[in-house]
Amino acid sequence: DGGITQSPKYLFRKEGQNVTLSCEQNLNHDAMYWYRQDPGQGLRLIYYSQIVNDFQKGDIAEGYSVSREKKESFPLTVTSAQKNPTAFYLCASSPSLGPGGYEQYFGPGTRLTVT
Amino acid sequence: SQKIEQNSEALNIQEGKTATLTCNYTNYSPAYLQWYRQDPGRGPVFLLLIRENEKEKRKERLKVTFDTTLKQSLFHITASQPADSATYLCALESSGGSYIPTFGRGTSLIVHP
């Protein structure tokens, strides 16, 4: 089955700790994305990557970091510098990134709670 | 400033009726617009993409229109079923050349049996 997986589904951390969220895809997609969703809010873009070893900040990158060492993997680290890290985090991929629009394939999400 | 507006109030309809959801936008010139379905606690699922030179697109019971003059897209589900109950998100191509879609907040649809 081709798809995009995120783990874990639920994650609990104490304030001040860094935490890494996993995202893996076997769709052979070049582009990958991380979004954050808060209750009643739209998806907000954290980081995106068009190709291996390259990534760009999205609208709310402060307090987050990513890496793209392999085409299929795009982990997100939520650092202690992120002021309000409790949220639902969604990873997505698309075949490419360019004009004309590509549908995004989303993972099941990770719900992070920081206390 | 740029805005994507979807009705924040839930749309309640009876089974069998046509559901119509609205996506309005300002200060965008999107080359395309997408619609996604999101169930509670899950990731969005892509439904339809419509380009700026297309007025209407259909897929089974779904129909999307795109009026670049009114800056509005309408999303219709005909013969609605309780299983259609979900939140529906519209997404527009961002301005600035990144080509990444920007998502609206979504509208919740509740179909009553």
Tokens found for residue A21: 């969220």
Q: Nearest Cα to B110, choosing from B14, B46, B17? A: B14
Q: How far apart are CA A75 and CA B58, in angstroms?
A: 36
| Predicted confidence (pLDDT) per residue in A13-35, tens digit | 999 999 999 999 999 999 999 99
pLDDT at A41: 83
By the CB < 8 Å criterion, does B70 face chain A? no
* B31–A100 C-beta distance less than 8 A: yes
Alpha-carbon gap, residue A93 to A11, rounded angstroms: 22
| Tokens linked to B20 | 């119509």
In this prediction, residue B94 carries a pLDDT of: 72
**Closest by Cβ to A103, choosing from B34, B43, B100:** B34
Contact A48 B100 (CB under 8 A): yes
Distance CA B70, CA B31 (A): 15
High-pLDDT (> 70) share of chain A, %: 98
Per the DSSP assignment, residues forming a β-bridge with A76 are A21, A66
Q: Closest approach of chain B CAs to the CA of A80, in angstroms?
A: 25
B101 contact A CB<8A: yes
Judge: B49–A101 Cβ closer than 8 Å, yes or no. Answer: yes
Lowest mean pLDDT, pick from A2-6, A31-35, A68-72: A2-6
| pLDDT range class, residue B99, cuts 50, 70, 90 | confident
Q: Which residues of A touch B28 (CB under 8 A)?
A: none
Which pLDDT tens digit goes with each residue over B35-77? 999 999 999 999 999 998 898 999 999 999 999 999 999 999 9
